[in-house]
Amino acid sequence: MNSIRPTVLIPFNFDIESRAALTFALNHTIDYRYNIIVLHVIERSERLAEVIVKDDVIQMVKNELLDLIEKTDKKDDAHVDIVVKTGKAYKEILKVSLEHGADFIIMGTREREEKAISKPKLGSVAGKIIRLSPIPVITFREGNLSFVKNILLPLDFAKRIQQKVSYAIKLAKVFDATVHVISVVWKKKEQISRRQLDLMEKTTRQIEAEGIKTTSKFISTEGGGKKMFLIEVIKYANNNDIDLIMIMTQSEKPLVKYFMSASAYSVIRKSSTPVLTITPKYSGNDED
């Protein structure tokens, strides 16, 4: 385990989901060895925020958050920073995550927010964070965020699969978790392709080399295409006590700034298991 403690950012707006994220983080900060940043954004027009929102209002919110944290069951040496900002919520969340070197973000979603996630230029704060965050984002529904002991890593053939593998290793070390690597194959093809075998072997070998417990499995299904892939991923998660599913928000190309693939959107909408989303990084040589 790296001696540097990772940092988790929790956007907090006093609703049920953000309280669940805070409780989760506070209860397990020592077990998982990370620092916590609790961020509340006072939503105002960016042009008027500094004029309308006075210092005493910001301090009042900080005091309320501090009181809430003190009343939550937590380890005494939990390292928690409270940050209060004014402006557009999603912009401040992204800015603070960068300024504080956060390693991942935890935030809840609701059905009304999930329906907005796939819209190209509109949608909830959660949707914008998922699409734009340069660091992984863990989203969950009320009541289903607990210890992360089993991480599901579905393999596909996207060019940036290595980025997902690297984050799986990093998160497994933070959570001291087992990584379950799966690959979905179609029965009509009769046998697993050499490409699938090579990718599975390379991935499991890389994760195990980091001292992380790993399982691997090929899942055979009657159908084909992305729809059946998603069905099998969610089914495996439900049947194998998976605590976190890892997906990428895009597959092959950085199409538009606000784009999220239909596959990623479907997993977030349909999975009862918390989902960790990763926005792939593209180099200057990538196609636009």
Query: What mean pLDDT, rounded, does the chain reach?
Result: 78
- pLDDT of res. 35: 87
Residue position matching structure tokens 């599901």: 152
Q: Answer whether residue 275 shows pLDDT above 60.
A: yes
Mean predicted confidence (pLDDT) in 102-115: 72
Residues 172 and 271 reside in one and the same domain:
yes
Length of the chain: 288
pLDDT in the model for residue 187: 67
Least confident of 222-226, 245-249, 278-282, 283-287: 283-287
Q: According to the model, what pLDDT value does residue 91 have?
A: 93
Q: Which residues contact 68 (CB under 8 A, 6 or more apart)?
A: 22
CATH number for the domain that contains residue 208: 3.40.50.620
Task: Check residue 224 and give its pLDDT.
Answer: 64
Indicate the pLDDT class of residue 158, thresholds 50, 70 and 90. low
* Mean pLDDT on 90-110: 90
The percentage of residues in the chain with a pLDDT greater than 90, rounded to a whole number, is: 26
Q: Where is the domain boundary, 140, 165, 191? A: 140
Are 12 and 116 in a shared domain? yes
Look at residue 62 and tell me whether its pLDDT is greater than 90.
no
Is 125 in the same domain as 202?
Answer: no
Tell me if the pTM is above 0.75.
Answer: yes
Q: Are residues 270 and 169 in the same domain?
A: yes
Exposure string (b/e) for 17-35, b if CB count within 10 Å is 16 or more?
Answer: bbbbbbebbbbbbeebbbb
Tell whether 132 and 155 lie within a shared domain: no
Q: Does any domain span residue 21? A: yes
Last residue of a domain, one of 117, 140, 163: 140
What pLDDT does 258 receive? 40
280 or 242: which leads in pLDDT: 242
C-alpha radius of gyration, the chain, whole number = 20
pLDDT at residue 111 greater than cutoff 60: no
- Identify whether 288 is part of a domain: no
**Which domain-ending residue is among 113, 140, 167?**
140
* pLDDT value at 124 more than 90: no
- Between 235 and 285, residue with greater pLDDT: 235
pLDDT of res. 131? 83
Strands 150-154 and 244-248: parallel
Range of the domain at 33: 7-140
Same domain? For 268 and 186 the reply is yes
Residues 135, 155, single domain; the answer is no
**What's the CA gap between 224 and 226, in Å, rounded?**
7
The dihedral formed by the CA atoms of 214, 218, 221 and 223, expressed in degrees to the nearest 10 = 100
pLDDT (mean) for 126-130: 85
Residues 133, 11 share a domain? yes
Does residue 273 have a pLDDT over 80? yes
Q: Do 118 and 14 share a structural domain? A: yes
pLDDT at 2 over 70: no
Query: Using N-to-C axis directions, what is the helix angle for 194-208 and 161-175, rounded to 10°?
Result: 30
Torsion of CA 216, 221, 227, 230, to 10 degrees: -30
pLDDT, tens only, 228-254: 788 889 999 999 999 999 988 754 444
pLDDT computed for residue 162 by the predictor: 84
Cβ–Cβ under 8 Å, residues 57 and 42:
yes
Is the per-residue pLDDT at 68 higher than 90?
no
Domain count, the chain: 2
- Does any domain span residue 1? no
Q: Are residues 254 and 178 in the same domain?
A: yes
More confident residue, 145 or 242: 242
171 and 207 share one domain:
yes
204, 240: one domain: yes
Residue at 283 is within a domain: no
- Top mean pLDDT of 72-86, 208-222, 249-263, 264-278 is at 208-222
State the DSSP string of the chain: --SSPPEEEEE--SSHHHHHHHHHHHHHHHHHT-EEEEEEEEE--HHHHHHHS-HHHHHHHHHHHHHHHHHS---TT--EEEEEEEE-HHHHHHHHHHHTT-SEEEEE--HHHHTTTT-SS---HHHHHHHH-SS-EEEE-TT------EEEEE----TTHHHHHHHHHHHHHHHT-EEEEEEEEEGGG-S--HHHHHHHHHHHHHHHTTT--EEEEEEEESS-HHHHHHHHHHHHHHHTT--EEEEES-SS----TT---HHHHHHHHH-SS-EEEEPPP--TTS--
